[in-house]
Amino acid sequence: MEKMWAGRFEKALDKSADDFNSSIHFDKKMYKQDIKGSLEHASMLCSVGILSSDDLDKITNGLLSILDDLNSGALTFDENAEDIHMFVEAELTKRIGDAGKRLHTARSRNDQVALDLRLYMRDETNSIIVLLKKLIGAVLTQAKSNQDAIMPGYTHLQRAQPITFSHHLLAYCMMFMRDITRLKDALARMNYSPLGSCALAGTTYNTNRDIVAEKLGFDGVCMNSIDGVSDRDYCIELESAFATVMMHLSRFSEEIILWSSWEFKFVELDDSYTTGSSIMPQKKNPDMAELVRGKTGRVYGDLMATLTMLKGIPLAYNKDMQEDKEAIFDSVETVAKCLEVFIPMIETMKPIKENMYNAACRGFINATDLADYLTKKGMPFRSAYKIVGTIVGRCVKENITLDKLPLEVYKEYSDVFDTDLYNEISLETCISKRISKGSTGYESVKEQIKYVEEFLK
Ligand code: ARG
């Protein structure tokens, strides 16, 4: 196929260079957005008198028929085309003749691709937000039905203080809620139309960029045409937000992997989200969670690739920028795939409350509460902390837990100890007495559940 720009050249592009240069095998994903943008561009050109209404009719019908045929599969992408923009324009001209050649008036591929990618990423990001809401809903459902499940909370992966499984899960709800607001922030900042920036300098035609922007659902136009065609900040912001989503999913995955091991057995994953081994008959592996954790690296890589691609290029458009698409497509598709498998994995996960409770009984996780007991009776916290530390040391040696240590022994360390200490350090008390906002206390957890529910409304 002859290139649109062939007039300037004496020789055709070498086949290897042509293949190297072509982006249609990945930018064909944006055909709907490309056609949508062209429809609005054409109708604007007509409204300001640049296109006749006869040409507009032909262009509109032609573009809509291409859209239908691509949707139905009646038309397939010509992999020899340079990119999706050239493909659609060539197909249009094939179908409607000269009117098709008028479409590209007062437009360049530079502003066209900038527009298409914004439209495409806006759609994709909104789908990710829907998935994140579903995920929060799934985690919240588990949180609601596990408000009484006491487990050890950890720091340094060492048992630290008693918490409820519900409280722990709600921490993930907070992360995914921030992910949504982060994506919405990025969407708001990128919602300006680059179309009409043309190659870089704007145009001599009397176009109306604002109408096109409004029709395409933008909040306005990019105010500097050079920036309009060379800005890819939104790719970086979205990739960064996606990388953060993956980091959250990866931390959650790591915990699920630990929890489903025999060493913890806090949860049992459903058979439909686990795999077996080719040699070890007993194995049930958390492959989905491991893959999510593993795929996090490539989403980080996509962000790095885009940042690095942009760092050295002068204004305005450079072909380097064609590399923006594969990275951001991979980023958003990976996040979507991970969420699609993660959500049902969470929905079907069965918590084993008994094992959580047994783990909470060992490890002296009520030691802080014992120190607080002495402090509330008037002892300075540091002194109480030291006494309890000494008692824990003794218990470790004697292989006994704090709740089993007789009162006489406690009295050896301080007269302040009395029989009420045993109630103070029971795991249920440790939870119910946590009254600070955001804490693991039963009431606080109920408040957090409401907070998440409000967010989802
Ligand atoms: N396929 C190109 C891209 O993705 C479209 C823009 C081409 N513009 C140009 N002047 N070569 O970036």
Tens-digit pLDDT profile for residues 229-256: 999 999 999 999 999 999 999 999 999 9
Which residue owns the Cα nearest ligand 1 atom 4? 322
Torsion on CA atoms 363, 365, 370, 373, rounded to nearest 10: -170
pLDDT at position 452 is 98
How far apart are the C-alpha atoms of 34 and 411, rounded to whole Å? 79
Q: Does 282 reside within a domain?
A: yes
The residues facing 93 across adjacent strands are none
Does ligand 1 come within 6 angstroms of the Cβ of 51? no
Does ligand 1 come within 6 angstroms of the Cβ of 83? yes
Please give the single-letter amino acid code of residue 225.
Answer: S
pLDDT at position 310 is 98
| Percent of residues in the chain assigned helix, strand, coil, to nearest 5 | 65, 5, 30
Instruction: For residues 393 and 417, state if they share a domain.
Output: yes
pLDDT at position 283 is 82
CB 269 within 8 A of CB 290: no
Instruction: For residues 186 and 265, state if they share a domain.
Output: yes
Those residues whose C-beta lies under 8 Å from the C-beta of residue 376, and which sit 6 or more positions away, are none
pLDDT at position 177 is 98
pLDDT over 70, % of the chain: 100
Report CA(10)–ligand 1 centroid distance (Å): 22
Model confidence pLDDT, tens digit, residues 413-422: 999 999 999 9
- Helices 323-348 and 109-144 meet at what angle, rounded to 10? 10
Please give the single-letter amino acid code of residue 322.
Answer: Q
Model confidence pLDDT, tens digit, residues 312-344: 999 999 999 999 999 999 999 999 999 999 999
Report CA(99)–ligand 1 centroid distance (Å): 23
Give the residue-averaged pLDDT of 427-444: 96
Please choose, from the candidates 226, 194, 234, the residue with its C-alpha nearest in 3D space to the C-alpha of residue 315: 226
Instruction: Give the atom of ligand 1 at the shortest distance from the alpha carbon of 199.
Output: 10
Long-range contacts of 153-161 (CB under 8 A, 24+ apart): 153/365, 153/440, 158/363, 159/359, 159/360, 159/362, 159/363, 159/364, 159/365, 160/365, 161/365, 161/366, 161/368, 161/430, 161/440
pLDDT at position 160 is 95
Q: Which of 318, 342, 358 is the last residue of a domain?
A: 358
Q: Which of 330, 358, 386 is the last residue of a domain?
A: 358
Instruction: For residues 354 and 366, state if they share a domain.
Output: no
pLDDT at position 278 is 86
Instruction: For residues 228 and 349, state if they share a domain.
Output: yes
Instruction: For residues 179 and 192, state if they share a domain.
Output: yes
pLDDT at position 7 is 86
Q: Considering only residues 216 and 284, tell me which one the structure prediction assigns the higher pLDDT.
A: 216
- Sign of the C-alpha dihedral, residues 216, 220, 225, 229? negative
Q: End-to-end alpha-carbon separation of the chain, Å?
A: 53
pLDDT at position 279 is 83
Those residues whose C-beta lies under 8 Å from the C-beta of residue 243, and which sit 6 or more positions away, are 296, 299, 300, 302, 303, 331
Does ligand 1 come within 6 angstroms of the Cβ of 110? yes
pLDDT at position 282 is 87
Does ligand 1 come within 6 angstroms of the Cβ of 109? yes
Instruction: Give the atom of ligand 1 at the shortest distance from the alpha carbon of 317.
Output: 10
Q: How confident is the model at residue 398 (pLDDT cuts 50, 70, 90)?
A: very high
Which residue owns the Cα nearest ligand 1 atom 2? 322
Report CA(290)–ligand 1 centroid distance (Å): 37
Instruction: For residues 354 and 427, state if they share a domain.
Output: no
Instruction: For residues 94 and 43, state if they share a domain.
Output: yes
Range(s) of the domain holding residue 12: 6-105
Report CA(391)–ligand 1 centroid distance (Å): 71
The residues facing 145 across adjacent strands are none
pLDDT at position 47 is 98
Given a cut of 80, is residue 1 above it in pLDDT?
A: no
Does ligand 1 come within 6 angstroms of the Cβ of 322? yes
Known catalytic residue: 277? yes
Does ligand 1 come within 6 angstroms of the Cβ of 91? no
Mutate to test the pocket of ligand 1, among 24, 30, 109 (most ligand atoms within 8 A of CB): 109
Given a cut of 90, is residue 12 above it in pLDDT?
A: no
Instruction: Give the atom of ligand 1 at the shortest distance from the alpha carbon of 83.
Output: 1
Instruction: For residues 331 and 185, state if they share a domain.
Output: yes
The residues facing 285 across adjacent strands are 275
pLDDT at position 446 is 98
pLDDT at position 430 is 94
Model confidence pLDDT, tens digit, residues 266-301: 999 999 989 888 888 888 899 999 999 999 999 999
- Longest Cα–Cα distance of the chain, Å, equals 101
Instruction: Indicate which residue of 53, 127, 261, 277 is catalytic.
Output: 277
DSSP string, 190-212: H-EE-TT-TTTT--SS---HHHH
- Token pair of 18, please? 């042509």
Give the residue-averaged pLDDT of 126-147: 98
Mutate to test the pocket of ligand 1, among 28, 77, 110 (most ligand atoms within 8 A of CB): 110
Report CA(56)–ligand 1 centroid distance (Å): 25
The CATH code of the domain that includes 56 is 1.10.275.10
Instruction: Give the atom of ligand 1 at the shortest distance from the alpha carbon of 27.
Output: 4
Report CA(318)–ligand 1 centroid distance (Å): 8
pLDDT at position 28 is 98
Instruction: For residues 139 and 244, state if they share a domain.
Output: yes
Given a cut of 80, is residue 377 above it in pLDDT?
A: yes
- Residue tagged 């990710």 (tokens): 128
Label the pairing between strands 150-155 and 158-164: antiparallel
Which residue owns the Cα nearest ligand 1 atom 12? 322
The CATH code of the domain that includes 279 is 1.20.200.10
- Token pair of 45, please? 């050109």
Given a cut of 90, is residue 3 above it in pLDDT?
A: no
Q: Does 1 reside within a domain?
A: no
Give the number of domains in the chain.
3
Known catalytic residue: 248? no
Please choose, from the candidates 28, 37, 114, 41, the residue with its C-alpha nearest in 3D space to the C-alpha of residue 75: 28
Please give the single-letter amino acid code of residue 163.
Answer: I
Instruction: For residues 371 and 324, state if they share a domain.
Output: no
Model confidence pLDDT, tens digit, residues 148-194: 999 999 999 999 999 999 999 999 999 999 999 999 999 999 999 99
CB 244 within 8 A of CB 177: no
Instruction: Indicate which residue of 16, 156, 272, 278 is catalytic.
Output: 156
Q: Does 339 reside within a domain?
A: yes
Instruction: For residues 128 and 254, state if they share a domain.
Output: yes
CB 379 within 8 A of CB 421: no
Model confidence pLDDT, tens digit, residues 40-87: 999 999 999 999 999 999 999 999 999 999 999 999 999 999 999 999
Mutate to test the pocket of ligand 1, among 112, 322, 325 (most ligand atoms within 8 A of CB): 322
Those residues whose C-beta lies under 8 Å from the C-beta of residue 379, and which sit 6 or more positions away, are 387, 414, 416
- Residue tagged 């992999």 (tokens): 79
pLDDT at position 363 is 92
Instruction: Give the atom of ligand 1 at the shortest distance from the alpha carbon of 82.
Output: 1
How far apart are the C-alpha atoms of 127 and 207, rounded to whole Å? 33
Please choose, from the candidates 430, 451, 431, the residue with its C-alpha nearest in 3D space to the C-alpha of residue 441: 431
Does ligand 1 come within 6 angstroms of the Cβ of 22? no
Given a cut of 90, is residue 6 above it in pLDDT?
A: no
Report CA(49)–ligand 1 centroid distance (Å): 28
DSSP assigned state of 441: S
Q: Which of 358, 383, 415 is the last residue of a domain?
A: 358
Report CA(82)–ligand 1 centroid distance (Å): 9
pLDDT at position 277 is 83
Instruction: For residues 267 and 319, state if they share a domain.
Output: yes
